[in-house]
Structure 1
């Protein structure tokens, strides 16, 4: 099945791209520049496309991102430290981000004759990101069926939506994903900070999966403290 993968350059989406390349017919990667402070993730998406030998489209959404103000990912607001399950992480929500990206990806798929759009939303995202939840992905696909009725038949592929990030690490390893060539950190520094929500979740996922983490973190111990706080809450 001809499938487009929405790829940020992060661990989840790069693992998904490698999985689709082996199990389906990967046609291209599509990424979005919405003015995120960790824009360097797009370089890792480009490396993934080169590695898998498919085209890579980067869609410029910076004007839209500027209008979706109030997020630590796009505004001059400090990215909080801690686990995703902490209330403070809500400041990293970019409203309708996935809905906007998926809408564009479905349009690209319909225009190019692809049968599916794949996105790496997963169970760990459900707490703070409403457009990562099963209720959203199911209803979004139904909406797109109506939007493209009579023109194209494009499905939404979300193999991780009911699974954990540790499951993604396991699947990524099974499909030979080069984890060191992925970028998760929301702070966009030289190395992963080891303290923001994506770093904590990334470190935890490797630990739970029992797979060595090749990532260089500036803070090597904060993740355990953040998980302990989550468990006490």
Structure 2
């Protein structure tokens, strides 16, 4: 996969969840010579385990890492399985209905806005995040239309404070999760040190929607999956 416009950012702020997608973005940028600031968010999500993995990945890359405390948002953005313990985490392959229960309203807009502010303040010339094509059906803030409009907003809203080459990067926005796994293998992502599961137990549960998506992505990519899944994962415990 080639760098957008064939030019590596000098310094990129990466929205880093500790998951497979954002970690691959970070390794891809680092492999192309970019300095990284990795930005994670505590937005009152159901568990904080993913943040521990984000710290681990930042350490591996020798990158600055910051956690933005937006903890009160979980209470305000209720009704999602990711922020509300009263909403069940869906199992199995995603459907439009089950994916809808994992939507956190305006989440990417909030995170991108903060990341752009950090980039402007630190003189970075790019902000990157890991949205991919599998998210498009239900998550409106993971679509190309949203991304293109937000990029315009970021430039207009910071006119005079960002250079002409300032970019928002979503390198996988038109690619599948399996494509991300393939790129991750190429750039040396330590897959076992990433976290996807929505339940946040000792192991990946292996049954929730995002675990199911993770398992399938490795299988479709033809890449060995080092993830250890729980015994309840329909016989796929590893």
Please give the TM-score of this superposition, normalised by the length of structure 1.
Answer: 0.92
Number of residues of Structure 1 aligned to a counterpart in Structure 2: 223
Residue among 128, 132, 151 paired with 1:141 = 151
Tell me by how many angstroms 1:4 deviates: 1.2
Match of 1:193 in 2: 205
Flag structure 1 segments of 5+ consecutive residues without an equivalent: 224-233
Match of 2:3 in 1: none
Instruction: Give the structure with the higher percent helix.
Output: 1
Tell me by how many angstroms 1:45 deviates: 0.4
- 1:167 correspondence with 2:176: no
Contact 2:74–2:84 (Cα < 8 Å) also in 1: no
* TM-superposition CA deviations, 1:64-94 (whole Å, max 9, x none): 2321111111112211112223422211100
Contact 1:195–1:222 (Cα < 8 Å) also in 2: no
For 1:10 and 1:169, how far apart are their aligned partners in 2? 12
- 1:3 correspondence with 2:15: no
Match of 1:104 in 2: 114
The alignment yields a C-alpha RMSD, in angstroms, of 1.3
**How do 1:154-233 and structure 2 match up within 5 A?**
154-218=166-230, 219-221=232-234
Structure 1 runs (4+) greater than 2 angstroms displaced: 219-223
Contact 2:26–2:36 (Cα < 8 Å) also in 1: no
Tell me by how many angstroms 1:56 deviates: 0.3
